[in-house]
Amino acid sequence: MARITASVYTSHVPAIGAALDLGKTGEAYWQPVFAGYDFAKQWIKEAQPDVVFLVYNDHATAFSLDLIPTFALGTGASFTPADEGWGPRPVPMVHGHPELAAHIAQSVIQDDFDLTLVNKMAVDHGLTVPLSLMFGQPEAWPCKVIPFAVNVVQYPVPSGRRCFQLGQAIRKAVESFDEDLNVQIWGTGGMSHQLQGPRAGLINREWDNRFLDRLIADPAELAGMPHIDYVREAGSEGIELVMWLIARGAMADVAGGPPPTVLQRFYHVPASNTAVGHLILENP
Ligand code: DHB
Ligand code: FE
């Protein structure tokens, strides 16, 4: 059977992608950001996932105000890196896992989560920057990736509670797929940032670190936090953090298993306008 072996959490700052693509990772500004992912890059070489279920948000690239799916599951065989205004990032094509994605669709929709199924979709920095942070700059991504886009751009956005419950349904779906697959689930976006308005530039280190503590130790309680708290404390784009609860909901302890092992915890400011947070939780 397929198994969810670990969850990974990371910010997706577009300037991180640009720093990588333009060869600036050694610069004094960026060096401490990338150093926070040295452990992850080593670890994932050994962990060797077959499939990453990658929870991220689209930034008006594949979707727009014309069409706003709350939860969009990428069921296609491949996904092209998007042109976000400066041309597509020079990163490999993303290859999906249509069979596992179809199985997840069947299971999760029958569990009462009304997903949108997307067979064709471009993927923006929300998805490609986490892949680059974890895998570096390979010729081809070393595993299949199932994109799962969550609307955290246009209100109403899904609640933390709904995201946490959805993670549990995704776990049940993956672990009932009849093929030996090592599956990781990644929650991306965040941490605190606000890109526009009078509060642009807002960063809240204390709140971010408390979020990490609670995500590790008591995600069920954290899932009850209302949107207004994210936006007030972590800025308008801090709401991206609700997506981390999907990945956390898919871990074994939430289904009555043992607590995860914290393999990596990293927090750094500054990186563009965003506080960078990163966690790796492994199922024992
Ligand atoms: C920045 C962060 C984001 O999450 C994003 O989608 C765009 C820009 C930033 O830090 O500049
Ligand atoms: Fe973003």
Q: Whose CA is nearest to atom 2 of ligand 1?
A: 13
Q: pLDDT class for 140, splitting at 50, 70, 90?
A: very high
Displacement of CA 246 from its chain's centroid (Å):
9
- Reported as type and span, the H/E element at residue 224 is none
| Mean of pLDDT values over 148-169 | 98
Q: Whose CA is nearest to atom 11 of ligand 1?
A: 273
Domain of 115: which CATH number? Answer: 3.40.830.10
Q: What amino acid is encoded at 182 in this protein?
A: N
pLDDT at 63 over 90: yes
Do 232 and 238 touch, CB atoms closer than 8 A?
A: no
193 lines ligand 1 (CB under 6 A): yes
> Is 125 a residue of the active site?
yes
Which of ligand 1's atoms lies nearest the C-alpha of 57?
Answer: 6
- The pair of structure tokens assigned to 144 is 């299949």
Q: Please state, for a pLDDT cut of 90, what percent of the chain lies above it.
A: 99
Identified catalytic residue from 12, 97, 103, 125 = 125
Q: Structural domain of residue 165, as residue ranges? A: 3-282
Which of ligand 1's atoms lies nearest the C-alpha of 189?
Answer: 4
CA of 81 from ligand 2 middle (Å) equals 16
Q: pLDDT class for 30, splitting at 50, 70, 90?
A: very high
Using CB atoms within 10 Å of the CB of residue 3, give its burial: 0 to 12 exposed, 13 to 18 middle, 19+ buried.
middle
237 lines ligand 1 (CB under 6 A): yes
Instruction: Give the whole-angstrom CA distance, residue 282 versus residue 278.
Output: 13
97 lines ligand 1 (CB under 6 A): no
Per-residue model confidence as pLDDT tens digits over 45-61: 999 999 999 999 999 99
Do 91 and 138 touch, CB atoms closer than 8 A?
A: no
pLDDT at position 142 is 98
> Is 95 a residue of the active site?
no
Bridge partner list, 81? 123
| Mean of pLDDT values over 24-29 | 97
CA of 240 from ligand 2 middle (Å) equals 7
Q: How many domains does the chain have?
A: 1
pLDDT at position 31 is 98
84 lines ligand 1 (CB under 6 A): no
pLDDT at 185 over 90: yes
| Mean of pLDDT values over 154-166 | 98
Q: How far apart are the first and last CA of the chain?
A: 17
pLDDT at 86 over 90: no
158 lines ligand 1 (CB under 6 A): no
Q: What amino acid is encoded at 254 in this protein?
A: V
pLDDT at position 39 is 98
59 lines ligand 1 (CB under 6 A): yes
Identified catalytic residue from 59, 97, 103, 193 = 193
